[in-house]
Amino acid sequence: MVQKAKILLVDDRPENLLALEAILSALDQTLVRASSGEEALKALLTDDFAVILLDVQMPGMDGFETAAHIKRRERTRDIPIIFLTAINHGPHHTFRGYAAGAVDYISKPFDPWVLRAKVSVFVELYMKNCQLREQAALLRLQLEQGGGHSGGDGGKEPVGLIAELSARLAAVEEQAEALSKQLDDSADAAAVATAAHLERKLTGLRRALDALEPGADPGPSAAPPQG
The answer to whether residues 128 and 59 belong to one domain is no
Q: Does residue 38 lie in a domain region?
A: yes
pTM beyond cutoff 0.75: no
Instruction: Kindly state whether residue 116 falls inside one of the protein's structural domains.
Output: no
Length of the chain, in residues: 227
Alpha-carbon distance of 102 to 100, in angstroms, equals 6
- Judge whether 1 lies within some domain: no
Residue 153 inside a domain? The answer is yes
Q: Is residue 49 part of a domain?
A: yes
Boundary-marking domain end, from 110, 136, 171: 110
With a CB cutoff of 8 Å and minimum separation 6, the contacts of 168 are 131, 135
Residue 227, in any domain of the structure: no
Q: How many CB atoms neighbour CB 167 within 10 A?
A: 9
Residues of the chain with pLDDT under 50: 148-156, 186-187, 218-223
Phi/psi of residue 31, nearest 5 degrees: -100, 125
**In terms of domains, do 31 and 105 share one?**
yes
Please report whether residue 94 resides in a domain: yes
Last residue of one domain, picked from the residues 84, 110, 136? 110
What total of structural domains would you count in the chain? 2
Query: Which residues fall within 8 angstroms of residue 171, CB to CB, at 6 or more apart?
Result: none
> What torsion, rounded to 10 degrees, do the Cα atoms 15, 16, 21, 23 define?
120
Alpha helix (H) residue ranges in 184-215: 189-210
pLDDT score of 108: 79
Query: Are residue 77 and residue 136 in the same domain, yes or no?
Result: no
Which class for 12: exposed (0-12), middle (13-18), buried (19 or more C-beta within 10 A)? middle
CA distance 50 to 4: 10
Task: List, as one string, the DSSP characters of 116-170.
Answer: HHHHHHHHHHHHHHHHHHHHHHHHHHHHHTTTT---TTTTHHHHHHHHHHHHHHH
Is 115 within the bounds of a domain? no
Over the stretch 117-147, which tens digit does the pLDDT of each residue have? Answer: 989 989 988 888 888 878 777 777 776 676 5
Instruction: Find the domain containing 92 and state its range.
Output: 6-110
Do 84 and 56 touch, CB atoms closer than 8 A? Answer: yes
- 74: how many CB neighbours lie within 10 A of its CB? 6
